[in-house]
Structure 1
Amino acid sequence: MTKYLSKGKFDRMEKLTNDKGVIDALALDQRGSLVKAMKKASEDYGKLFSMKMVYDFKEAVTGVLSPHTSAVLLDEEMGFKGIKAKDPKTGLIMSYEKTGYDANEEGRLPSLIPEQSAQIMVENGADALKVLIYYNPNDKDEINDQKKAFAERFGTEALAAQVPTFFEIVTYDDKYASDSAEFAKEKPQLVLESMKEFTQDKYHIDVLKMEVPFNPSYIKEWNPDRDDGVYTEAEAEKYLVELGAAATRPFIFLSAGVPTDVFQKELKLAGDAHVPFSGVLSGRATWLESVDIYIRDGKDALIDWLNHKGTRNVNGFTEILNQTATPWFEAYGGMDNIQVIDIDNLN
């Protein structure tokens, strides 16, 4: 079946990918979690925290690392200096959702930044828009129906603005802690069912940003010292294969805050299983170690870390993606199966 894309969307997808058609992107849109980490580090090292630290950190990380990536994900709220520091050849993905959720309200419901719109963000330089939702396919219909409607509104608005959509899904179950063995047992089903839902055409999602469908801390072979392993490596690989088979559009993996070597191991496992993922949006796995260095030793030490360890982290992911990832257009049967429509010239 032919895939139709507006010229605006197609051109922006090309801007977001490397010369192999792979999304090799850096995530730096963390807001509440980054502020929390910096406040803790400031307390630990006897420093006085200010929001300027957050703004300057995003500026430095983006300035040094964006030339090594195909795209960078930033927010205008705290990442405005980072947006200006981005390499002009690197694509810009902008966050459209408010950070976090109202813990006093059932369902972890998402909401958009009220002063933003798809068109405004395009005018401000966005090559793609991203939203995050917390999703449990087993939640009550009155909760999930709101999230499905949210996804449809997001996709339809971006369709009109001719800007690609990145849709990030973080699964949860309020009965269990996210790092518990109980949740680890549920996670494969939650991630797979989420893929099956939001890969549907009606949402107009261009790129799904997915968790790996397991918790790597509970793979028995990877963690031989613990006695509560949940899955074997072969089972984890099977879950990855099922996830890839369910996708009807490009999808990428998020790092979910795991250490760099663990995320690289996950990507290699997906590659070994020939899972057709189209890249990564790697966040904390790339730069989290530098937060303490920045707070403790200052900006010069941060820049030095970024030029050495941070750059190695990024290039390490690029090397793995060159061996494992699938071009985004292969999700539609190849570039020859995509028909680009110049909507601006339609009467």
Structure 2
Amino acid sequence: MKKIMTKQVFERMQRVANDEGIIDALALDQRGSLVKMMKQAAADNGKPFSMQMVYDFKKLVSKVLSPKSSAILLDEQMGFEGIKAKAPETGLIMSYEKTGYDADTPGRLPSLIDNQSAQIMVEQGADALKVLIYLNTKDKAEVNQIKKAFTQRYGTEALAAQVPTFFEIVTYDDDYASDSIEFAREKPRMVIDAMKEYTKDEYHVSVLKMEMPFNPKYVKEWNDGGEYAYTEEEVKGYLKELSDAATRPFIFLSAGVPTPVFQRELRLAGSAGVKFSGVLSGRATWRDGINVYAKDGEAGLIDWLQHKGTQNVLDLKEILAANATPWFDIYGGMDNIEVVDAPEIK
């Protein structure tokens, strides 16, 4: 059966992917976490912190690295300078969710930015939208029902605006620290179950942005004889199960792991036959530049971006070329996509 896709959504999907249909995108929509990292870097280097540092950091990273990426993910709140600085040929994905969550309300419930809408972001130049939810698949049914309804509202709003939706899922369990071995043991099933649910047609998600279904810290062959939760062979099985559950394109997020670790994860996914369509790589690409910027200012950061930052992007491109699958192949290839005109909404 052919995949029906409107002309607007199809063309925008093509704009956020490279010529081979791979999404080699740069994630730069971090807000609260980036402020925290920048404050720490400023303090470590004996410099005063200001929000202008965050705005300028996003602008410089976007200016130097966006020309080498198929798309860049930015937020209008702190990344407005980065949006203006991005390369014209690079696709723009815009964040629609508020940063963080209300810690006083159980369930880490998501919410959208108050002064944004799918239509407004399209008018601001967005080729795609992105929303993140925190998900505990074992949480109370009423909590997860709120998240399902939230996702459907997001998907149907974007459908009306004829803009692709990126949907990021970050799993958690409040009973365990995110870096604990206890949560590491839960994570594979949580991530796979999240895929099984949110790959359903009813959510109108264009691209799922998924975690690796394991914690690399607890892979037996990767941790120099420390305690482990799984072997590399077991991890390959989790990766394949995740891939087999997908009914639409999905990409991997870097989740803040060091660059070499993320690269190793992607190669492992490729060796397991995982049909992922690219990445949205954030901190793994640019995190080390924060301290360089705090220490050496704009000139230091530009130099770092032109050398190490650029090399990080190029290394990812090489890995994706060898291991990733074009986004349209999940639908049986370009010939199996029927592009239709969408009704005009006035």
1:260 alignment counterpart: 259
CA distance in 2, matches of 1:164, 1:343: 14
In structure 1, the gaps of 5 or more residues are none
2:235 alignment counterpart: 236
CA distance in 2, matches of 1:6, 1:61: 33
Aligned residue for 2:93, secondary structure, equals strand
1:209 alignment counterpart: 209
2:110 alignment counterpart: 110
Output one character per residue of 1:246-288: Cα deviation in whole Å (capped at 9) or x when no partner: 0000000000000000000000001111100000000000000
In structure 2, the gaps of 5 or more residues are none
1:317 alignment counterpart: 316
- For the pair 1:120 / 2:120, whether they are aligned, the reply is yes
> Normalising by structure 2, what TM-score?
0.99
4+ long deviations beyond 3 Å: none
CA distance in 2, matches of 1:34, 1:224: 31
2:95 alignment counterpart: 95
1:173 alignment counterpart: 173
CA distance in 2, matches of 1:111, 1:257: 23
Structure 1 residue 345 displacement after superposition: 6.2
1:82 alignment counterpart: 82
Q: How does 1:1-347 map to 2 (within 5 A)?
A: 1-226=1-226, 228-344=227-343
Aligned residue for 1:343, secondary structure, equals coil
Structure 1 residue 297 displacement after superposition: 1.1
The letter for the 2-side match of 1:128 is A
CA distance in 2, matches of 1:345, 1:64: 37
Output one character per residue of 1:281-303: Cα deviation in whole Å (capped at 9) or x when no partner: 00000000010110011110000
Q: CA separation of 1:116/1:345 partners in 2, compared to 1, >3 Å: closer, same or farther?
A: closer
Structure 1 residue 45 displacement after superposition: 1.3
Output one character per residue of 1:289-329: Cα deviation in whole Å (capped at 9) or x when no partner: 01011001111000000000000000000000000000000
CA distance in 1, matches of 2:54, 2:160: 33
Aligned residue for 2:36, secondary structure, equals helix
> Normalising by structure 1, what TM-score?
0.99
Output one character per residue of 1:144-186: Cα deviation in whole Å (capped at 9) or x when no partner: 0000000000000000000000000000000000000000000
Aligned residue for 2:87, secondary structure, equals coil
CA distance in 2, matches of 1:299, 1:223: 36
CA distance in 1, matches of 2:3, 2:159: 14
Structure 1 residue 42 displacement after superposition: 1.3
CA distance in 1, matches of 2:2, 2:163: 20
Structure 1 residue 344 displacement after superposition: 3.9
Output one character per residue of 1:59-99: Cα deviation in whole Å (capped at 9) or x when no partner: 00000000100000000000000000000000000000000
Output one character per residue of 1:117-157: Cα deviation in whole Å (capped at 9) or x when no partner: 00000000000000000001110011000000000000000
CA distance in 1, matches of 2:324, 2:40: 36
Output one character per residue of 1:7-60: Cα deviation in whole Å (capped at 9) or x when no partner: 110000010100110000000000000000011111111111100000000000
Among the aligned pairs, what percent are the same residue?
68
CA distance in 2, matches of 1:344, 1:169: 31
Deviating more after overlay: 43-52 vs 24-33: 43-52
Output one character per residue of 1:195-221: Cα deviation in whole Å (capped at 9) or x when no partner: 000000000000000000000000010
The letter for the 1-side match of 2:300 is A
CA distance in 2, matches of 1:345, 1:207: 24
The letter for the 2-side match of 1:31 is R
CA distance in 1, matches of 2:109, 2:341: 36
Structure 1 residue 225 displacement after superposition: 3.6
The letter for the 1-side match of 2:322 is Q
Q: CA separation of 1:10/1:296 partners in 2, compared to 1, >3 Å: closer, same or farther?
A: same
CA distance in 2, matches of 1:199, 1:249: 6
Structure 1 residue 115 displacement after superposition: 0.5
CA distance in 1, matches of 2:338, 2:138: 37
The letter for the 2-side match of 1:94 is M
The letter for the 2-side match of 1:25 is A
The letter for the 2-side match of 1:343 is A
CA distance in 1, matches of 2:270, 2:336: 24
| Alignment size in residue pairs | 346
